[in-house]
Chains A and B, each alone.
Chain A
Amino acid sequence: MSLAIATDGTTPRQNWLERLGAGHIILAVVLVLYPLVASDFFLTQIGGYSLIFGMMGLSLMLLAGYGGMVSLAQITVAGIAAYAIAILGNNNSNILGFGWPWWLAVPFAVLAAALASALIGWISVRTEGIYTIMITLAIATATYYFAQQNYAIFNGHSGYAGIRAPAFWGISWRDPKPFYYLCLGLAVLSYAAVLYGSRSTFGMTLQAIRDNPRRMRALGYHVTAHKVFAWLLAGVIAGLAGVLLVWFNGRVSPGTIGVDAAIDVLIIAVIGGLRHPIGPFLGAVVVILMQTFAIDIVGAERFNTLIGLVFLVIVFVSPDGILGLWGRIKPHLAQESLRPGS
């Protein structure tokens, strides 16, 4: 799959575009009507949760697919937004908690996440290729350990609890249906933004930089600035996911941003497919379903072996994840997933 995992040239992407209409409408209808048939548990614990992790996967897909930078620090960025919400808003841990209203806290939290993401990006784009994955893993782990030991800002191992989703327009947004629609709305927004952005001048430049940074530099493009800006955008999406996550859990602790969680996001994005923004959402649904029901089927003890093997099979058999599998199963779609090297 190398780093050229997203749309390789313009031709396949246009094919996608032609297809977008019908498929998107059906998907939208299904997702909007989903609450009619789903229980509250399936609505939030599966639906909402998958959308949240799908958004984190999407932010990774943006970096990896279009920018060729595989990050393991997306959960860290989301975690920064989550912690910011806990610190700026209200919590019941008796530490900090400035009590800002949500409409002030949320933009600041997302901004903090975006800036942190840009900083991580700036540090890691100083080196190229596979280095990124190492550096972001090191950053994610270091942040996790620091959050666990620092009481002044992160409240240590216990983290923050008692964080409530806001209630406005007469709706309590943590109730199952509103929360689901909130997640859906933000996910669709991010999804559309990424899809649109990939076709914008910036998106095209980023993909060109991914394919040949030297040539782009020679042409006078500021390669580092483009990459860091991509990190900033990914940070906004991951930050929004982080805000939803902290409202969903009502709490945030170092465990939320641990190494396992960081790798989960990567697994979600890779299993779903890094080629198209819908991939991470598919991956999220599959992984969350497996995670939730593994205990009833194979027992929780060996869940990690199961998910690890699925991950390995996907990486070996279909570098484009589930999306790629579809391409293989459907022969008439095969030509679009055939690429040199895969």
Chain B
Amino acid sequence: MSLLDQPSSPSLSGGGMTRRQAWGLVGLFAAAVIVWLVFAVWPDWLNAILISKKAFVSAILNGITLAGLYFLVASGFTLIFGLMRNVNLAHGSLYLLGAYIGYEVTSRTGYWLLGVAAGFAVLAIVGVVMQVFVFRRLEGDDLRQTLVSIGISIVAADLMLAVWAGGTYQIATPEWLDGALTLPIITAVRSNGASVFLTYPLYRLVVLAAAIVIGVGLWLMLHRTRVGMMIRAGVDDRAMLQASGVNVHAVFAIVFAVGAGLAGFAGVVGGSALSVAPGEDVRYLLASLVVVIVGGMGSITGAAIGALLIGLAEQIGLVYFPTYGIVLTFVIMVVTLAVRPQGIMGKAR
């Protein structure tokens, strides 16, 4: 998932060739700098500026893996938003509910993968129920749908607080996902000449891998299957899709199931990496909002780019200027809105 993927997705490319080439060059240069920063042994002055190579590389890696998590949450949000114009502000609640369900299933059965599956399945059902019984009744009324989703999120947050109390839960990951991996990245050289390699939690790399697999899977679903074609058609022109005899309600239900299911899936995965506690719903809702605003609505590639930007901004901010970390995220959002109101990969309408 990098900027270099863009040209390969024909339907999403925008702007002229020269502009794209210019951006490509900038991208290549940035990539080269990052590769050097990651693999070279740092001179002292660089260590002095950036605290330490370990801190810097960890921040980058953490940013990318966190982006994976954000992508999982935001991809469902952006699909639902893109297709139905439904800003589902209860999306964060879906994340949190998925995490709690994953916790319950994992701790009762002892199988983490079962917990992940349950998180996806239960939330997919919840998503369909929400779509059929709530949002379908308010179809075509964007504002009321949004207000209802706010109401649902308030009630859901309070009921989850009632059931699971304010405690902090951790979903136990299986043994084979535990521990740290030694990466072929030298962070420092000891005085005796031995190299110190970077160790990194295996689980976080697995989260990233899962996000990439799901991202590619979603992209393939959207671009290579019939349902995907309908969804994309719906994103572009809902009325026309309806007019051409497609059962839009079925498509809507599928998208809601996938979107909510992904939020639940992300909840279990994220709840294992971090933890499950009240307030997480707002946090991931905000992340999804910013990712979608930056990336552009209805675009999976946009969600990936947005997630990467926000994840990196958050982690680098946390290490180098904790006070203004949030401002960095905010600036990215405002600059995007000022330059490209529809988001990086969004289409002007």
State the Cβ distance, B289 to closest chain A Cβ, in Å: 5
Q: How many Å lie between the Cα of A104 and that of B225 in the bound state?
A: 65
B341 / chain A contacts, CB cutoff of 8 Å: 126-127
Q: How far is the CA of A270 from the CA of B150 in the complex (A)?
A: 12
B144 touches A1 (CB 8 A): yes
Stretch binding the partner chain, chosen from B6-14, B194-202, B330-338: B330-338
A304 touching B282 in the complex, CB below 8 Å, given contacts A126-B337, A134-B87? no
Interface string of A296-337 (1 = CB under 8 A from B): 000001111101110110011001000000000000000000
Complex formed: what's the CA distance from A318 to B185 in Å?
61
Interchain CA distance A70-B141 in the complex, whole Å: 14
Complex CA distance for A309 and B159, rounded to whole angstroms: 11
Q: Contacts of A221 on B, CB cut-off 8 Å?
A: none
Q: Which of B147, B325, B333 contacts A138 (CB 8 A)?
A: B333
Tell me the complex Cα distance, A126–B155, Å.
32
A315 touching B147 by the CB < 8 A rule? yes
A5: chain B residues at CB < 8 Å are 143
Q: Which of B142, B155, B289, B326 contacts A304 (CB 8 A)?
A: B155
Interface 1/0 per residue, B313-343 and A, CB below 8 Å: 0000000001111110110011001100110
**Of the residues B143, B150, B326, B327, contact of A130 by C-beta under 8 Å:** B143
Q: From the candidates A301, A307, A312, name the one contacting B148 in the complex (CB within 8 A).
A: A312
Enumerate chain B residues within 8 angstroms of A129, measured Cβ to Cβ: 85, 142
Count of B residues near A, CB < 8 Å?
41
B293 surroundings in chain A (CB, below 8 A) = 131, 134-135, 138
A186 to B101 alpha-carbon distance, docked (Å): 49
> Contact between B337 and A301 (Cβ–Cβ < 8 Å)?
no
The 4 tightest CB contacts between A and B, nearest first, are: A308-B154, A308-B155, A304-B158, A312-B151
Binding site for A on B (CB under 8 A): 85, 87, 89, 137, 140-144, 146-148, 150-152, 154-155, 157-159, 162, 282, 286, 289-290, 292-293, 322-327, 329-330, 333-334, 337-338, 341-342
13 intermolecular pairs with C-beta atoms under 8 Å apart? A1-B144, A2-B144, A70-B146, A127-B337, A129-B85, A137-B89, A142-B326, A142-B327, A142-B333, A149-B326, A151-B323, A266-B147, A305-B155
